[in-house]
Structure 1
């Protein structure tokens, strides 16, 4: 009997020691991630001066003081944005190379023009989701969308600029062309919207279909005018410009977003540090005012919303491109 009691006491003691070990193990605080320990690079897959570049540099400018290391913006245009996005997707997933991916990420794979999709990236934040619009020279012989459409029907081959074949602005123009049975001469400009805006202002094009904020300085100067926007509602920054839905029966929205992302396998702890810092910037009134002054409608999308937007648009534009046979 005594031997049995002694054995039970030994077993209880061993179990107690094991339990204490587990308790001490679980109570130890998680080791903090030391990030960043070197400069962070943000790849912008477009030329300097366009909407994506403006948003990226603004986001960096208003976030840089939150880190004790530099954040360096590097423009890597080419291939409608594919060059920079591929470089970002293939970067080491350690949080030190980020990419300002654009909506073309949801379009070009369906045209077999890009080997990367939203699945190659992890969303951090998105500060912009701007709608397309019809922008023409201020001295053009049309002042409304209806007049532009009628003119285009009578004058086939209007030169409409875009930011590259398969870009969101090209898709917007093709959708309008398809809806109203028009015949545009699509002129691609690689490197984002800036070259197309410059070409329109220089008299080399008849129209472009980009976000109005991309041409704000030329619009403010009276060189260009906006006829309509492809959004559900009028924009706060351009309250006098009607929507397509108001002017026609075309209930269609096209928005261009720019999302700050990391490679898909970035550690969760690093992603949390990045998203916390950049999300704080999105809610900074000074940063929002900066975007508004550029004619950009700010949004505040965190990691989950950004990833959802990228995934949903990948599916949406894939279906749209089948409908318009692009």
Structure 2
């Protein structure tokens, strides 16, 4: 082969390889701030986690994450906002287990299959929380009173995980509650503080500041073992009620997001969760760290979707 011909062929090969090299390096993403959509009000556990993550991600993304609260419909308003985003990757959803309950109750057509998972960040069990001056000191006393009285129990929205937590107590004990939906855990806690309802069944982490201040008390947590930060609080299982309900929180983008953007976000997230500031923020709120990347998070969502589908059918809650 002539030298000029050889140079020409090598030039063509190199030119053809350029797009693949650029693709392997990933896109120049992001080139502007990215919205991290928290589908619950400010002050709740999901909001606290989202803001802590956004601060910790500063070192690992070339542009900031801007936390946007879009509460309502137990998360569905925020999810829809992310799915309707026009620019791939510039709206990230902070998902919670409500995404497993809402569609199974027929309250939204949005499901986990509409998203591509980035990573799960945490997990927290539900808890029975009452005012500090409430007369009930144990789960047994609370349940006995609930069977006799007209108890209103607040949750994070109709069809939310916290709604299912209270419904599971009804199923196991025969108690009957008036289920009062709120836009999130924090509004429910504020209503309890005001004496408008008897109890809430949100996570222990979401009421921790009020418990620490001596305004609320937790009677029991819905996990298989006692949890960090609440070692003195028994599990419902210890009290003869085998109920394990809780919520995880994680990041996801719409399912049609280009794979190179998904890869960039997963890589940045894997580094961000190692930041001590994020771990400290979780510990401060007694929130459980439970990282699961990409496909592992997707498997969790698929499993939980089926679990809540069965629970909702058993309790006859579909369509309520």
After the TM superposition, which residues 9-88 of structure 1 pair with which residues of structure 2 at under 5 Å, given as runs?
30-31=21-22, 32=25, 33-88=27-82
The equivalent of 1:141 in structure 2 is 135
1:147, distance to aligned residue in structure 2 (A): 1.3
The equivalent of 1:216 in structure 2 is 208
Matched, 1:325 2:319: no
In 2: Cα distance, 1:239 partner to 1:105 partner: 29
1:295, distance to aligned residue in structure 2 (A): 1.8
In 1: Cα distance, 2:227 partner to 2:91 partner: 33
1:282, distance to aligned residue in structure 2 (A): 1.5
Q: TM-score, normalised by structure 2?
A: 0.91
Q: TM-score, normalised by structure 1?
A: 0.89
In 2: Cα distance, 1:97 partner to 1:28 partner: 26
The equivalent of 1:90 in structure 2 is 84
In 2: Cα distance, 1:313 partner to 1:221 partner: 34
**CA shift in 2, pair 1:124/1:28, >3 Å:** closer
CA offsets per residue over residues 240-271 of structure 1, 9 Å max, x none? Answer: 111111111x2221111221111111111111
For the aligned residue pairs, the C-alpha RMSD in angstroms reads: 2.2
1:28, distance to aligned residue in structure 2 (A): 8.3
In 2: Cα distance, 1:272 partner to 1:212 partner: 33
Moved more, 297-306 or 232-241: 297-306
In 2: Cα distance, 1:30 partner to 1:143 partner: 65
Asked whether the 8 Å contact 1:86–1:115 carries over to 2, the reply is no
Asked whether the 8 Å contact 2:37–2:67 carries over to 1, the reply is yes
Asked whether the 8 Å contact 2:60–2:272 carries over to 1, the reply is no
In 1: Cα distance, 2:236 partner to 2:310 partner: 21
Matched, 1:275 2:269: no
In 2: Cα distance, 1:278 partner to 1:28 partner: 26
In 1: Cα distance, 2:99 partner to 2:176 partner: 27
**CA shift in 2, pair 1:28/1:104, >3 Å:** closer
SS in 2 for 1:245: coil
**CA shift in 2, pair 1:181/1:23, >3 Å:** same
After the TM superposition, which residues 148-159 of structure 1 pair with which residues of structure 2 at under 5 Å, given as runs?
148-155=142-149, 157-159=150-152
The equivalent of 2:178 in structure 1 is 185
Asked whether the 8 Å contact 2:96–2:247 carries over to 1, the reply is yes
Asked whether the 8 Å contact 2:60–2:271 carries over to 1, the reply is no
Asked whether the 8 Å contact 1:51–1:214 carries over to 2, the reply is yes
SS in 2 for 1:301: strand
CA offsets per residue over residues 157-210 of structure 1, 9 Å max, x none? Answer: 2111111111111110011011100111111112x1000001111111111011
**CA shift in 2, pair 1:175/1:93, >3 Å:** farther
CA offsets per residue over residues 218-253 of structure 1, 9 Å max, x none? Answer: 1001111111111111101111111111111x2221
Asked whether the 8 Å contact 1:93–1:266 carries over to 2, the reply is no
In 2: Cα distance, 1:214 partner to 1:103 partner: 15
1:27, distance to aligned residue in structure 2 (A): 9.5
Matched, 1:303 2:297: no
**Runs ≥4 in structure 1, deviation > 4 angstroms?**
17-29
CA offsets per residue over residues 28-59 of structure 1, 9 Å max, x none? Answer: 86203211111111111111111111111111
In 2: Cα distance, 1:185 partner to 1:275 partner: 42
After the TM superposition, which residues 165-180 of structure 1 pair with which residues of structure 2 at under 5 Å, given as runs?
165-180=158-173
Structure 2 portions without partners, runs of 5+? 1-7
The equivalent of 2:123 in structure 1 is 129
In 1: Cα distance, 2:65 partner to 2:270 partner: 16
1:70, distance to aligned residue in structure 2 (A): 2.2
Aligned length: 309
